Amino acid sequence: NAGVTQTPKFRVLKTGQSMTLLCAQDMNHEYMYWYRQDPGMGLRLIHYSVGEGTTAKGEVPDGYNVSRLKKQNFLLGLESAAPSQTSVYFCASSRRMNTEAFFGQGTRLTVV
Amino acid sequence: QKEVEQDPGPLSVPEGAIVSLNCTYSNSAFQYFMWYRQYSRKGPELLMYTYSSGNKEDGRFTAQVDKSSKYISLFIRDSQPSDSATYLCAMKVDTGNQFYFGTGTSLTVIP
């Protein structure tokens, strides 16, 4: 059981570079989420999706874009990375609206 | 005011102690309450999940929800060094799409 898998696990970017983080889940979950986790700030929602082809903004969406072309995948893009985007990014998925979320192992991103 | 408040700790207890972790919240519409455990450099994993008020027990863990006080607790009995982790509370409204997380409490259980 893979659950939620994030790729890559670590990345260092230079300011202004772009990258895409990939999240894949094999639980046939409808809902998928991208969070960032920073010291003292907890988990903050960036974007989420309630189904294939849908996306919505969360608490801190600026500087990020997402796509959900396939039900099992949720991509997070940074078009022009900034040092403020240095963080640990977590993807999560849940079966439907009122069920618990399952998390991936995280991607540690450093922007220099 | 943040939706969910959680004391970050750190909390350090001897092995075998009873641990009490707490969160307060401001949104009376929250109906779903969760506790996640996060080991260092790992993703959060679900520990307990409760709906509305009341208690739920699972082995050494007990989750309590007091909606009148907007207060939830997680109790760990006979704490073990393997319980050393950060504990995150999370909440959700009945028809909402988003989870609201506390900042986490860091717990260390000393052998």
Q: What is the pLDDT of residue B96?
A: 75
Residue B1: the pLDDT is 66
Please check whether residue A74 touches B, CB under 8 A.
no
* pLDDT tens, residue by residue, B28-69: 999 999 999 999 999 999 999 898 888 999 999 999 999 999
Q: Is the pLDDT of residue A104 over 70?
A: yes
Q: What angle do CA B33, B37, B43 make, to 5 degrees?
A: 110
How long, in residues, is chain A?
112
**B10: contact with A, CB 8 A cutoff:** no
Q: What is the pLDDT of residue B99?
A: 87
**In whole numbers, what is the pLDDT of chain B averaged over residues?**
93
pLDDT in tens, A61-78: 999 999 999 999 999 999
Confidence of residue B93 (pLDDT cuts 50, 70, 90): confident
Across the interface, which of A40, A100, A106 has its CB nearest the CB of B43? A106
Percentage with pLDDT > 70 across chain A: 97
pLDDT in tens, B1-14: 678 999 888 999 99
Q: Measured between beta carbons, which residues in chain A are less than 8 angstroms from residue B104?
A: 42
Mean pLDDT over A31-42 rounds to 92
- pLDDT tens column, A8-21: 999 999 999 999 99
Question: What is chain B written as a DSSP string?
Answer: --SEEE----EEEETT--EEEEEEES-TTEEEEEEEEE-TTS--EEEEEEESSEEEEETTEEEEEETTTTEEEEEESS--GGG-EEEEEEEEETT-S--EE---EEEEEE-
Distance from CA of A51 to the nearest CA of B (A): 12
| Residues B68-91: tens digit of each pLDDT | 999 999 999 999 999 999 999 999
